[in-house]
Structure 1
Amino acid sequence: MSRYHEIKHRVATTFQRHVGNPILGRLPSQPILETTGRRSGLPRSTPIGGRRVGRSFWIVSEFGEKSQYVRNIQADPRVRLRLKGRWHTGTARLLPEDDARARLKTLPTVNSAAVRAIGTNLLTIRIDLDD
C-alpha cells in the first residue's frame, strides 16, 4: 500500500471510529453488521451501507482485508445484521472476484459515493441471511 493510501486509511478509520460510527450506530434505520472479534471473541458492531436483495445483503468494504470487520469475518463468517431495527443471522462471504465498482452502482447512492471516494482496496461482501 502506498504512503498516500496508508494515510488515507488512517484518517478515514480514525474519523469513522470516533465520529461517524458512534453517530450512525444510533440511527434506527442504519444497517449494523455484528461480527465476532477475532481476538476477543466479543461482539463487534459496525454501521454499514448496502442493500438487501432477496435472502442476501450486499456491501462493499472500502479497505478490503485491512478493514477490521473483514478480518473478523475471515476468522468467523457467522454474523448478525440489523436491518430496519430487526436482527438477522447469516454467513458473510468475501467475493474478491466480484467487480466492486460495478457492485457499488447497485447499492445506495450516498454510501457508494463515499466508499468510492475514500476506498483504496474495494472488496465485495455478500451476507447470506438465514431468515
Structure 2
Amino acid sequence: MSDRRFRATTAFQRHIANPLTRLLPFQTLLETTGRVSGEPRRTPLGGRRVGDSFWLVSEFGTKSQYVRNIQADPRVRVRIGGRWHHGTAHLLPDDDPAARLRTLPRGNSAAVKALGTRLLTIRVDLDD
C-alpha cells in the first residue's frame, strides 16, 4: 500500500500540484541542484523559519527526489515570503518528525502526516 500511495502522491504532485503552486508568488519553494542534470529544481513545500534556520518534513524521506538532490549537494535556496535565501540543508533522521510537524504550519503538516510513509526532518541553515 505505501508504495502505491507514494507513486500516486508523487504523480499528482509532479504533474498537477507543483506546476500550479510554483506560480504563486508567496509559495515557499526549495531549490536544489538536480543530481543528474545539474539544473535547478524547485519544489513547493511547507515549513517554518525559526531564527536562521528553515525547518520542514519530507513525507517520503530519502525516496523524495529533492531529498536525493540534497544528499548529492546540500547547498540549496529557499524562497520564504517571496524572498530567496541561500543555505545548507541537513537531513535529521534522529529528529522526531511527528513532533516536528506539530511546530510547523497546520495545513501542510496535516497533508504530510496523512500521505507520508517515511517522514524525515530537514533543517536548512540559512546564510542570509
- TM-score, normalised by the number of residues in structure 2: 0.99
Q: Which runs of 5+ in 2 are unaligned?
A: none
Q: Which runs of 5+ in 1 are unaligned?
A: none
Trace 1:87-106 onto structure 2 (pairs within 5 A): 87-106=84-103
SS in structure 1 at match of 2:88? strand
Aligned length: 128
Deviations 1:29-85 (A, max 9, x none): 110000000011110000010000000000000000000000000000000111111
Identity across aligned pairs (percent)?
Answer: 69
SS in structure 2 at match of 1:114? helix
Aligned to 1:58: 55
Trace 1:11-50 onto structure 2 (pairs within 5 A): 11-50=8-47
Out of 69, 73, 76, the residue aligned to residue 70 of structure 2 is 73
Trace 1:112-127 onto structure 2 (pairs within 5 A): 112-127=109-124
Q: Indicate the RMSD between aligned Cα atoms, in angstroms.
A: 0.4
Q: Distance in 2 between matches of 1:50 and 1:85?
A: 14
Aligned to 1:7: 4
SS in structure 2 at match of 1:35? strand
Dislocated runs of 4+, deviation >6 Å: none
Q: Distance in 2 between matches of 1:103 and 1:34?
A: 22
Aligned to 1:107: 104
- TM-score, normalised by the number of residues in structure 1: 0.97
SS in structure 1 at match of 2:23? coil
Q: Distance in 1 between matches of 2:100 and 2:80?
A: 20
Q: Distance in 2 between matches of 1:103 and 1:43?
A: 27
